[in-house]
Chain A
Amino acid sequence: MIDHTNLLLTEAKQESLWPINFKFIYIIVIAIVILILFPFSKPQDFHIHLMIMVFLYAVMSQSWNVIAGFSGQISLGHVVFFGIGGYTSSFLFIEYGLTPWIGILIGMFFSIIVAILIGIPMLRLSGHYFAIATLLIGFSFQIIFQRWDLIGAASGLWIPLIWENSWFNLQFHDSKIPYYYIFLTIFILTYLFAWLLYKSKIGFKLRAIRDDPQASASLGISVSQYKIIAFIISAAIISPMGSLFAQYILVIDPERMFSFEISIIILLIVVMGGIGNVWGPLLGTIILIPLSEYSRIYFGGTGGSIDLLIYGLLIMIICIFRPEGLISLIPNKLIRKIKV
């Protein structure tokens, strides 16, 4: 008689842990090709700008997803690393003429150092306490930078214009398209990295900590160590976006670079799209960021905060009907196939 259980075990052992879903890969490849070709369709500047904002927030929200979605720590002051990245590259460019490309790396380094320094004491906290602590850290950095004369205090920093378009100086004045490709590249690399992280040993351990820190410890996982690792990775992802954003707008100040609103928007994006899922932040971004940018067009200035009102309404609807985010609209069976 054939042993049914043995057959199942043999079959299970032959299964890939992460089966390749070719349909899904085709969709991604086609989407990337479309994004690469998009500027050739001669879009308006606004549309290029909109896409840049989508890439920017998709990366920033993925960064938040790593700490909150993968490891379960709700940070409300994540903008700190965005600000550090922006200020580091801008300051080094203004004072020493250092190319922003190097500035981005140095900004990442500082962000990682700050993540370790604030992470070691704060990640002993959990839940609401951690969230409140990060909120206060965010405000503290804004206040410190507002009073720090060396880096322009409240007036901020004005990055000197180099009139020639220059990849070395990361300044382009004739067109936004070079910025588009830079942001697109970082966006693709970030999502590829997040996807690999999710499937890695670290990813497994982070998700275990998110679901139950006590049970994770019983399986030999050092919870505090892995939380700090997640915090460092998250900081390293968002920091370059601060540098690139600074190069994009060329004027930065503490109000903008350490804005609490940014921390909240990236949180809303992830909650709306689906927390803990690699594609959740992207889904949330492509809904919320166009909404925000179009409301600026139709209502002027900052959009009259109409976007925030709509955000609030959408979040309420999501929390009531889809607490796991829009990604949960995909049936479990399909999620199993494209787990990340």
Chain B
Amino acid sequence: MSIILKVNKLSKSFGGIHANRNITFEVKKGEILGIIGPNGAGKSTLFDLITGYTKPDSGSVIFNEQSINNKKPHLISKLGIGRTFQKLKPFHDQTLLENVIVGALATGLSLEKAKLKSLEIIDLVDLIEKRHHFAKELSTGQLKRLELARAMATNPNLLMIDEVTGGVDQKTVPGLIEIIKKLNSLGVTIITIEHNMRVIMSLSNRILALDRGKKIAFDEPKEIQENEKVIDAYLGGVEVATN
């Protein structure tokens, strides 16, 4: 499988806090890569660094063999990286359909074609009945789907999903997982941040584990489950300082 994204020694500090330290990994075309780590591990910062919302202190990001370092978020989106946000960011005063149309317009379609494409995607995330509802009228689970649909409408090659199951009830989780699998089956490479271990283990081909800004493991789910550093990070094991 060819490599779609290559992250090389990416670092970012905020004041004295190292949010990301020398993170290196690559993503294969068509896979689902999970990113895990306790709160404050630097997962969302890593997303922001890749998608241009935060500038790295050092390191590089190569997408489809093209450097996207220091590119603005809208240009990175145009290159084919879609994303959702940990804190939901729907366009509240617009309907679900209008939200998704905004994404579809990014591909240069006419309004009518953008509408048709948006409806197909809304159908894919099982929200066709809610198409005329304002975003502010939707539940958290529905908003998560809205964000997935909106990002998908931009025709991404790589979709970065930040905690899709966060803040939703357990009944909603399987539906969301199904949607991610569906999107992946359409050929979209996916990177997903997750706190829900069951979800990440069942969903991912490989998992990147972070702790306090550092990569502590990068392997297949089975190996990650047995990795001592990962267990330590989640169970609160004491890290021995080394040079």
Contacts and interface: CB of A to CB of B under 8 A. Distances in A.
A9 B89 CA distance: 26
Contacts of B182: none
Contact of B106 (A5, A207, A211, A219): A219
B123 interface: yes
Contacts of A12: 119, 122-123, 128, 131
A217 B131 contact: no
Contacts of B105: 201, 204-205, 219
B116 A211 contact: no
A222 interface: yes
B60 interface: no
A220 B91 contact: no
Interface string B81-108: 0110100011111110010011101100
A212 interface: yes
Interface residues of A, number: 28
A211 B53 contact: no
B115 A215 contact: no
A221 B95 contact: no
B112 A215 contact: no
Contacts of A201: 105, 111
Contacts of A204: 98, 101-102, 105, 111
B78 A212 contact: no
Interface in B115-136: 115-116, 119-120, 122-123, 126, 128-129, 131-132, 134
Interface string A200-213: 11001101100110
Nearest to A17: B115
Contacts of A208: 91, 94, 102
Nearest to B115: A17
Interface in B49-63: 51, 53
Given A205-B105, A211-B94, A13 B119 contact: yes
A8 B129 contact: yes
Interface of B: 51, 53, 72-74, 77-78, 82-83, 85, 89-95, 98, 101-103, 105-106, 111-112, 115-116, 119-120, 122-123, 126, 128-129, 131-132, 134, 137, 150-151, 153-154
